Amino acid sequence: MNNIDRIRTILNVIFMIGALASVILYFTQTDDKTLFFYVCGGSIFIKMIEYMLRFLLR
């Protein structure tokens, strides 16, 4: 396992934690969904970085 694969694995774990946190925030926040949008957007951004690493550096 090289360094790129390790970085991709770490980014995937961070994305999965963020996705789970997004689902929890979506169902627990009633009025203001701002925190949900930030966490969800950050998770998607992390996934896009992992996606670019997968296709550009292979």
Number of domains observed in the structure of the chain: 1
If pLDDT is split at 50, 70 and 90, which confidence band does 1 have? low
Q: Is the pTM of this model over 0.85?
A: yes
Q: How far is CA 3 from CA 43, 49, 50, in A?
A: 21, 15, 13
- What are the distances in angstroms from CA 57 to CA 32, 41, 47, 51? 39, 24, 15, 10
Domain span at 21? 3-56
| pLDDT the model gives residue 22 | 97
Over residues 6-56, the pLDDT tens digits come to 999 999 999 999 999 999 999 998 889 999 999 999 999 999 999 999 998
Please name which of 46, 38, 45 lies closest in space to residue 22, comparing C-alpha atoms.
38
Q: What is the pLDDT of residue 33?
A: 92
User: What's the CA angle centered on 41, arms 23 and 27, to 5 degrees?
Assistant: 20
